[in-house]
Amino acid sequence: MTTTADPAPRRALTIVRQFAAPPATVFRMWTDAAELAQWWGPKNFTNPVCEIDARPGGAIRIVMQAPDGARYPMVGTYHEVVAPERLVFANHAVDADGKQLLEGLTTVTFAEHNGGTRMTLHTSAVALVADAAKYLDGMDAGWGQSIDRLAAHLAA
């Protein structure tokens, strides 16, 4: 008798957004830690830790903090960094002990369009532990709010 295990929960998301800023500026928002810390994460979250080495093989480490003080660490590695056109990075949600909860891959492209930038973000993730499936349910809202915060940061 053969049994098939249920596949791990997965989710993919694509967001396309237009910004009234040149691609080099929008790209910098993703590759400068001080800029990234200002907008990364859902509404009302902060980033007390934002360390990035935006080069192929470089690391990314962000700890998002919710308004209630809960912390959500993320680590990853840059696969591609092509200024000001494209970023590809692995992103992994981890627990306080560094155990991976989610495994993700994010690609962001930046193209000149009508004097500004058309940014396309494609991300996918798989839950590595049962409790992580709830994070997949929040992907649309979390990424959407992050990109809204990016837009506000660029407009400021």
Please tell me the distance from the alpha carbon of residue 33 to that of residue 137, in angstroms, as a whole number.
27
pLDDT, tens only, 26-57: 999 999 999 999 999 999 999 999 999 999 99
For residue 84, whether the previous peptide bond is cis, meaning omega lies within 30 degrees of 0, is yes
Please tell me the distance from the alpha carbon of residue 23 to that of residue 118, in angstroms, as a whole number.
8
For the chain, the C-alpha Rg in angstroms (whole number) is: 16
Lowest mean pLDDT among 3-12, 19-28, 45-54, 135-144: 3-12
Cα dist. 148→19, 39, 144 in Å? 11, 8, 6
Would you state the pLDDT for residue 6? Answer: 59
Would you state the pLDDT for residue 3? Answer: 47
- 118: helix, strand or coil: strand
Please tell me the distance from the alpha carbon of residue 42 to that of residue 38, in angstroms, as a whole number.
11
Model confidence at 2, in pLDDT bands (50, 70, 90)? very low
Q: What percent of the chain has pLDDT over 90?
A: 91
Model confidence at 1, in pLDDT bands (50, 70, 90)? very low
pLDDT, tens only, 66-110: 999 999 999 999 999 999 999 999 999 999 899 999 999 999 999
Q: 58 burial class (0-12, 13-18, 19+ CB within 10 angstroms)?
A: middle
Query: Sign of torsion, CA 95 97 100 101?
Result: negative
Q: Which CATH class, in words, describes the domain spanning 10-155?
A: alpha beta
